[in-house]
Amino acid sequence: MADMNMSAVPARPVEVIVEDIAREAGRLAFTHFRSLADLPVESKGHLDLVTAADREVEEFLIAHLRDAFPDDGIFGEEGGEIPGTSGRIWVIDPIDGTFNFVRGGHNWAISIGLHEMRRPVLGVIHAPVRDLTIVGGTTVPARLNGLPIKPLPAFDMSRASTGFSFHPTVSTTDRLEAIRFISDDLGISFRLCGAATISLIEVMLGETDGYLSIGDSTWDVMAALPILASLGVSHTIDWDRTELSQKLRFACGSEAFLDRVRPLLQTLSIAT
C-alpha cells in the first residue's frame, strides 16, 4: 500500500520543461553546426534557406512538445502544423537565422513561443553558440541563464540604436526609406544581424533601444515578445487582427521609441 503521508511530487513549471527541450534541441543543432560541410542546404526563395538541421530540430521540438503538452497545438516554420484542443499553440522556429547558421555565424537561436488567447504569453530562446538561454512571459519574470535580467535603460536619443530587418521580398523602395528614416529623421544608429531573435535579445539586454521589422514571421518573434513584455517593452502588433501565417510589419521598444517610429510604419508595405 502506498504511503498516504508521502507528499505528491510537484509538477514542473511549464517554462522549465520547455527550457529543457530547447537546450536539447540546441545540442542537436550544434552537432550539425560543427559539420556544416556535410549539411544539405536548400532554397525556399531568394536568400531564404532551409537545411536538414532545421527540419531535424523542428521534428525534435514537435515530438517533445507533443509529449509534454499533448492537448496543445503546434505551428512551426518548416511546415509542422498540428491542431490541438487546449486553445494553446506552440509557435516554433527551429533555427532562427538559418542563413547565418549556414555561413558559420553565431547569430542563430532556437525559438519556442506559446500563443494563447491570440497573444504571446511565454517564450524560451536558446542560442547555443552564445551559450544564452532566456525565459520569460506574462507571468514569468525574464531570466538569462537562470538569473534575472536587469532593468532596461531609459531611452536616450543621444546614444540611441535600433535593430532592423527586412524580408527578401520587401521592395528596395521600402528598404531605403526605412534606412533614410532611421538615419535622417530619427538620427540614430541601426544594426542588422540577420536573425530577429538575436536582434530582440539585444533589446532585452539593453544593447539596442528597439527593433523595426518589415516582413518577419510570427515564429520569428513569438518567443521574444512575451519575454520583452515582462521587461516593460511594448510593440505595435495588433494580435486580434493577425493570423499566425501572416508576415509582420512592426516595431517594439519603449513607448518613447515607438512614438518616434510609428510614422515610418504607416508608409511601408507589408512583405508577402
Binding residues for Mg(2+), as ranges, are: 77, 93, 95-96, 220
Cα 267 from Cα 254, distance rounded (Å): 21
Does residue 105 contact residue 5 with C-beta atoms inside 8 Å?
A: no
Q: Collapsing DSSP states into helix, strand and coil, what is residue 30?
A: helix
Where are the strands (E) in the chain, listed by range? 41-45, 48-51, 73-76, 81-82, 88-96, 109-116, 119-127, 132-137, 143-144, 147-148, 161-166, 189-191, 210-217, 234-235, 247-253
Cell 542588422 belongs to which residue? 192
CA atoms within 13 A on the CB side of 189: 8
Residue among 178, 151, 31 at smallest CA distance from 101: 31
CA distance to 23, 72, 208, per residue, from 149 (Å): 19, 29, 15
Cα 192 from Cα 213, distance rounded (Å): 10
**Which residue positions form the known binding site?**
77, 93, 95-96, 220
- What residues have CB less than 8 Å from 263, skipping those under 6 apart? 181, 185
Cα 129 from Cα 118, distance rounded (Å): 32
Strand 41-45 versus strand 73-76 pairing type: unpaired
CA distance to 14, 92, 94, 162, per residue, from 78 (Å): 24, 9, 8, 29
